[in-house]
Amino acid sequence: MAIPDPDVAQADPAPAGPRRGAPVGRRIVLGMIGLGAVGVATGRWLSDGVSTVVASTAPALASVIPAAGGFRIYSVTSPHPEVAAADYRLTVTGMVDRELSLSLADLAALPQTGLTKDFQCVTGWRVNDVPWSGVLLRDVLDQAGVEAGAAALRFTSFDGVYTESLTLEQGMQPDVLVATSMFGAPIQVKHGAPVRLYVVPMYGYKSLKWLGGIEVARTVTPGYWEERGYDVDAYIGASNGRNDDPNV
Ligand SMILES: Nc1nc2c(c(=O)[nH]1)N[C@H]1C(S)=C(S)[C@@H](COP(=O)(O)O)O[C@H]1N2
Ligand SMILES: [Mo]
């Protein structure tokens, strides 16, 4: 599989290309587990510091690297992007009445919502009862005013690579958070500081980290992993993250 990402240009090609409707990442991980190669590979990745490659190859591969708190840290870029709190802006553009550029103070001035819900990656790992808080996406969109005819949302990360999508209808549900805190503290850099998405009913790949932009549009533009075989509608238990995996 050739991933058109300069960060991973030097990575070994994965053993199998994406199959129609099949998540690439899980196939690779299952293949590795079958070969008993996980320990070896983990050691190599950690010592080589090539977690970029691991995480870039698929949302599944980094899951062999243990992380505190049950979360696996995924990023298709390296190092993690950082922005000074004072410089952070969340832009809301596209089919809106007013384009926005929100600072952290602007976000803090909007109604705050807390949600304590599970977080689940398509590859099967799950963290129960994570307390998140921030601003409901719909409260942000209401500030901007969505124009008639808009039906989709495109999210961009200030890592410069990762993108995500939701339909406008999905994004207006009261379970999609523009999160600024996790476990009662500001979101850590590795988890997407200072602002990330948390999309409660969908697999973790929808919960874009290092959120920089929200674009309101007419039609859905598939996100990073969606261009690589994962479902656009990533509902937990009802999308292709789980079709062929009895363990999820
Ligand atoms: N910017 C960005 N956001 C991302 C990803 C990523 O690689 N880059 N990975 C996604 C995937 S597949 C998952 S499961 C979660 C993992 O969140 P965590 O790294 O905080 O555990 O982040 C999602 N958001
Ligand atoms: Mo994931």
Taking only the tens place, the pLDDT of each residue in 121-167 is 998 899 999 999 999 999 999 999 999 999 999 999 999 999 999 99
**95 and 149 Cβ atoms separated by less than 8 Å:** yes
- Between the CA of residue 144 and those of 140, 141, 176, what are the distances in Å? 7, 5, 17
Residues of the chain with pLDDT under 70: 1-69, 241-248
Please give the pLDDT value at position 241.
Answer: 64
Distance 230 CA to ligand 1 centre (A): 14
Domains detected in the chain: 26-228 (3.90.420.10)
Please give the pLDDT value at position 237.
Answer: 85
* Residues linked to residue 243 through DSSP beta bridges, in sequence order: none
For residues 138-154, one letter each, b for 16 or more C-beta atoms within 10 angstroms of the residue's C-beta and e for the rest, the string is bbbbebbebeeebebbb
State the distance between the two ends of the chain, measured CA to CA, in whole angstroms: 25
Please give the pLDDT value at position 17.
Answer: 26
Q: Ligand 1: residues within 6 Å at CB? A: 55, 59, 71-76, 121, 157, 159, 162, 191, 204-205, 207-210
**Ligand 1 atom nearest residue 162's Cα:** 1
What is the model's pTM? 0.76
